[in-house]
Amino acid sequence: MTTAWNDYQSGEFYDELIGPNGNARKPAQKLVSYLKSLTDEEVSSRKLAAELAIKDMGISFTVYTDEGNIDRAWPFDIIPRVISKTQWDKTDAGLKQRLQALNMFIDDLYNGQKIIKDGVIPEYVLKQSTNYRKECEGISPAYGVWAHICGTDLVRDKDGEFYVLEDNLRVPSGVSYMLENRSIMKRVLPDVFEKVDIAPIEAYTSHLFETLTSLSPRKIRKPVVAVLTPGIYNSAYFEHAFLAQKMGAELVQGSDLVVQDDDCVYMKTIAGLERVDVIYRRIDDLFLDPEAFRKDSALGVTGLMRAWKAGNVALANAPGAGVADDKVVYAYVPEVIKYYLGEDPLLPNVETFLCYDKKQRDYVLANLDKLVVKPANESGGYGMLIGPHSTKKERETFAELIKAKPRNYIAQPTLALSTAPTFTEKGNTPEPRHLDLRPFVLQAKDSYVTTGGLTRVALKKGSLVVNSSQGGGSKDTWIVDTHPEAKA
């Protein structure tokens, strides 16, 4: 038995695997028992096996730097995160509820804005939204769904409960890494899968394909589905190619598509033009169509919005869905759920302060050293101030930014993000590292939630930044059934 685990202490935070008494939590007992049985040499060999699997499978991500784009191997920790099935069932229901309400909200914003007329959300919030698209007004896509694929970021606070940190409704990424993490773990710890009842995740791409084909305007047996990518230099290109291959869909760039006079989208092939029914687009709104948005875009397809408005092609996610990505809108989601569904939220938000409100802004400015300040429409962890880890100069800079454009900023308490045992560069001694979780939710005719999601972990001690582009890593996520009838 390795002595490294005997010294593990989770400290003041909720730990995903180890309870405050130092014993493994029930869903993680078999896993921890197995890990403790490994010698130092066996741990090293499994870490090496994971590294070799990542290289062999070609799992990489791109980091943008001033010196150019750098492709890096996917940073991965072989100790999985474990969640009980009982808790996940509640989380699953909360995620479906949230996305249903958000889609009703988006559809309302582009068709009547009843929620604003009824005073639930101030008109000011919408007028200042950078992701509201006037070009989408009067459109109602199939099933009234705009965000077909959502990546919702969850965190666990010290109470052990999940909170929604943010919704990602534009072009959420990361699901390919969730799937590949499982493939790596099956190579590295195959014997554990025989002992623990771990919920499978491999069906995601089938569900994604079913979701996309259900949107087809042509009711034919085999609709043509294409994944629209910006190209090989995009940081998420690995995922675009991965999902297209797994679904048996076409991987295309803007230059591969053309809109004809009949307002239908066609793909250029060696056999001629072939009509496309559904486009899973991984390009931001403003680059989708130079006819409707940025005229200088070389990534999009001229006339694509025209074809979509005519009902001749489905776009997932729909243009304009990002209006609900706004972190100011996020603060109103509990009210949005109550307004459209008449239900209380099953998943709580993190307490949020809106800087456009003078009273809340004054509180934020007086407590910048204690809060996390976020721009309303950035993603990837950029443009943030993490108060407790900031300098006086950084706080002064953010104070001026908030005063200049208060609508652009929200603030939240610094959460006691949960931790999990993680192997560090020091060797085979696990140490607690903070993490979050991004489950993926599909919605069209039906709804589907991944069993678990992408766990991102801050590899630096004490860091709360989990994004891979900023030094974070990843873990496999296990939803484990501890019912007596589960795997013995």
Please report whether residue 98 resides in a domain.
Answer: no
**DSSP classification of residue 76:** B
Q: What are phi and psi of 226, to 5 degrees?
A: -130, 145
List own/partner pairs for 284-292 with CB under 8 A and 24 or more apart.
Answer: 284/170, 284/171, 285/131, 285/133, 285/170, 285/319, 285/320, 285/322, 287/230, 288/315, 288/319, 292/135
Which pLDDT score is estimated for 5? 76
Give 10-residue mean pLDDT values along the chain (488 residues). Answer: 67 90 92 92 90 81 53 82 96 97 97 96 86 94 97 92 93 92 93 92 96 95 96 88 96 97 96 97 96 93 97 97 92 97 97 93 94 80 81 92 92 90 82 94 96 92 74 90 64
Measured CA to CA, the distance from residue 162 to residue 454 in angstroms comes to 15
Please report whether residue 226 resides in a domain.
Answer: no
Please report whether residue 374 resides in a domain.
Answer: yes
Which pLDDT score is estimated for 158? 86
- Residue 413, both tokens: 């308490």
At CA 55, angle to CA 50 and CA 57, rounded to 5? 90
Q: Where are the beta strands (DSSP E) in 76-176?
A: 81-84, 149-156, 162-168
How many domains are contained in the chain?
1
Give the side-chain half-sphere CA count within 13 A for 276.
32
Which pLDDT score is estimated for 71? 59
Measured CA to CA, the distance from residue 393 to residue 476 in angstroms comes to 38
- Only one residue has tokens 């993603």, namely 379
Which pLDDT score is estimated for 302? 97
pTM above 0.75, yes or no: yes
Please report whether residue 95 resides in a domain.
Answer: no
Q: What are phi and psi of 314, to 5 degrees?
A: -100, 140
Q: Is the dihedral of CA 365, 370, 376, 379 positive or negative?
A: positive
DSSP codes, 442-460: EESSSEEE-SS-EEEEE-S
Please report whether residue 271 resides in a domain.
Answer: no
Report the helix count and the strand count for the chain, using DSSP H and E: 14, 23
**Range of the structural domain that residue 403 is part of:** 353-413
Please report whether residue 405 resides in a domain.
Answer: yes
Please report whether residue 138 resides in a domain.
Answer: no
Which pLDDT score is estimated for 1? 41
Q: What are phi and psi of 107, to 5 degrees?
A: -60, -35
Look up the CATH number of the domain holding residue 409: 3.30.1490.270
Please report whether residue 363 resides in a domain.
Answer: yes
